[in-house]
Structure 1
């Protein structure tokens, strides 16, 4: 065995991997069905897969995002299995029954949006639940039931809580149909009057001749480029 191989063999390996989370999700949700009587494990696997561009804790939380909601699995049990505390915290934040008011969906969304990592998981969850074929199938199954709008109402709150490029990565993997909606939301949020935008407006704030850039040091009367210390 070469020295690099020996060192790798000696280095501690993560006790709970992304692949372990995926297997646990499949087993834990194996007998469950969604509203359309489809295997629920397909949903949790899709959510985890959608987070492939992020770190392991976020991906693990994605696969296990419903494990505390829909199974007897506890925080302590997850920790003892080797799930990191950070991943467990994400799982608990997206678990509705653990919220202060589980019946207030939008309050729960705002609570989730306070945490970057949990927001990413919830965006993936929301996107999969909003797939066009799923929405259509639900409408056909319950034609007299008004369409569920809570997912639509939640998305702007979630999208505003994380960088837009992170949202794009998730949507591109799990529900590309929502990318157009995301662009529309960004357009609505942009209040720039492009029709009346003048050259002076566009150039405002940029360094001009005779005006030093904020990044450039300005010489003090003593000739030093360092500002004088502030005196209380």
Structure 2
């Protein structure tokens, strides 16, 4: 449990309620992505795990910083959430700059690695390619990984990838060499 009393389980329930009825690009329940990111961070402390479950809450729901504070979400978890929320960045349209900004913070980097890894699952990438065959896959996730991977210890990245997307482990090993 975090120092504030707001628990990982509470974050999971809040994420489920906040993202209720939202669908991803493949028309799947969006909460599946949020759960995958939070679950990928199971080896880390509660604030990081809470931020994982709530990583898209400021981006995709009307829930505000004040609401999170009122619910007892710790300042640290809120800080992580805000750092990974693109619309709060100085230039939200510059994805690469946003990744560099995230990579300046250890905890936010772990959350972003989990997010990136889930979005990079081979079956997801393939399904998106099949749904939009005329649209080339967006390389931004692959381009972001080296920046993110250089920002935190490889052992921590490995823990995340083993849980959410083991297909990325060879890429991690290549970068480590």
The normalised TM-score by structure 2 is: 0.97
Structure 1 runs of 4+ aligned residues shifted over 2 Å read: none
The one of 124, 135, 158 aligned to 1:145: 135
Q: Which residue of 2 aligns with 1:180?
A: 170
Q: Which residue of 1 aligns with 2:156?
A: 166
> What are the within-5 Å matches in structure 2 for residues 1-232 of structure 1?
14-187=4-177
Secondary structure in 2 aligned to 1:103?
coil
Q: 1:165-202 deviations in whole A, cap 9, x for unaligned? A: 00000000000000011111122xxxxxxxxxxxxxxx
Whole-angstrom CA distance in 1 between matches of 2:100 and 2:16: 29
Instruction: Give 5+ residue unaligned stretches, structure 1.
Output: 1-12, 188-232
Q: CA deviation at 1:64?
A: 0.0
Q: CA deviation at 1:147?
A: 1.2
Query: Which is bigger in relative contact order (C-alpha 8 A, separation at least 6)?
Result: 2
Q: CA deviation at 1:14?
A: 4.7
Equivalent residues, number = 175
Whole-angstrom CA distance in 1 between matches of 2:157 and 2:85: 20
Instruction: Give 5+ residue unaligned stretches, structure 2.
Output: none
Query: Is 2:38–2:52's contact at 8 Å kept on the other side of the alignment?
Result: yes
| Greater helix fraction, Structure 1 or Structure 2 | 2
Q: CA RMSD in A?
A: 0.8
Secondary structure in 2 aligned to 1:177?
helix
Whole-angstrom CA distance in 2 between matches of 1:60 and 1:147: 30
The normalised TM-score by structure 1 is: 0.74
Larger radius of gyration between Structure 1 and Structure 2: 1
Query: Is 2:99–2:144's contact at 8 Å kept on the other side of the alignment?
Result: yes
Q: CA deviation at 1:15?
A: 2.3
